[in-house]
Amino acid sequence: MTDTLPNLRHEAAGCTRCELYRAATQTVFGEGPVPAQLALVGEQPGDHEDRSGHPFVGPSGELLDRALEAAGIDRTQVYITNAVKHFKWTPRGKRRIHQTPNQTEIQACRPWLDAELEAAAPRLVGLLGAVAAKAVLGQDFRVTRSRGQVVTASAGVWSGPAVATVHPSSILRTTDAAAREQGFKAFVADLEVMAGLLP
Ligand code: URA
């Protein structure tokens, strides 16, 4: 595996390390400045990202943009990627419904995440949702228990400071308006913890 991001992106475009490439439109690789102060890791591309080839450009990305702005973080300064780089979905009528990736798929994708975090060399990694948090901090990590806390990842993909929070899609799925607003504020508060660790 070569180690510059353009090379990594090129190699990942042909990735067949697990079966997800078969149903996905394309590999959605990470994007952002290198080196980056902050790297954000999500779960996997969604429908919009699969079609466009860019991470966090659909509804979750729009919510993430609003929250980053509220937390005073400039998205153009953030390297944004996903733990899994192909969209995993199942058909329901004409719609493509998100499926959570399994451990085999997450592990198969791990060398890409390892390599891009090494290349992006962030000061801090922000983990969006349980899949990303467990991929980087281990299976025992619980977002509900430890969100918004600065933890030090010591094994595997990333060995440095990390802060986990919820996935923006969990806020979008909240039907009660007041609870959704509260969820958004809590999400911004976690991003503010990240912002506080940046220069
Ligand atoms: N959800 C993610 O986790 N990543 C994306 O890129 C889009 C939606």
Query: Domain spans of the chain?
Result: 5-196
- Compute, in angstroms, the gap from residue 55 CA to the centroid of ligand 1: 6
- At 126-185, the pLDDT tens digits run 999 999 999 999 999 999 999 999 999 876 678 899 999 999 999 999 999 999 999 999
Decide whether any atom of ligand 1 lies within 6 Å of the 44 Cβ.
yes
R_g of the chain computed on alpha carbons: 16
Decide whether any atom of ligand 1 lies within 6 Å of the 50 Cβ.
no
- Compute, in angstroms, the gap from residue 156 CA to the centroid of ligand 1: 22
- pLDDT for residue 96: 97
Lowest mean pLDDT among 26-35, 45-54, 147-156: 147-156
- Compute, in angstroms, the gap from residue 197 CA to the centroid of ligand 1: 24
Q: Which atom of ligand 1 is the closest one to the Cα of 167?
A: 3
- pLDDT for residue 121: 93
> Given ligand 1 and candidates 31, 41, 44, 88, which is best to mutate, with the most ligand atoms within 8 Å of its CB?
44
Classify the C-alpha dihedral 53-57-61-67 as positive or negative: positive
- pLDDT for residue 155: 64
Decide whether any atom of ligand 1 lies within 6 Å of the 79 Cβ.
no
Decide whether any atom of ligand 1 lies within 6 Å of the 126 Cβ.
no
125, 162 contact by CB (below 8 A):
yes
Decide whether any atom of ligand 1 lies within 6 Å of the 168 Cβ.
no
143, 179 contact by CB (below 8 A):
no
Q: Which atom of ligand 1 is the closest one to the Cα of 43?
A: 3
75, 66 contact by CB (below 8 A):
no
pTM as predicted: 0.97
Question: Homologous superfamily of 5-196 in CATH?
Answer: Uracil-DNA glycosylase-like domain (3.40.470.10)
- At 4-28, the pLDDT tens digits run 999 999 999 999 999 999 999 999 9
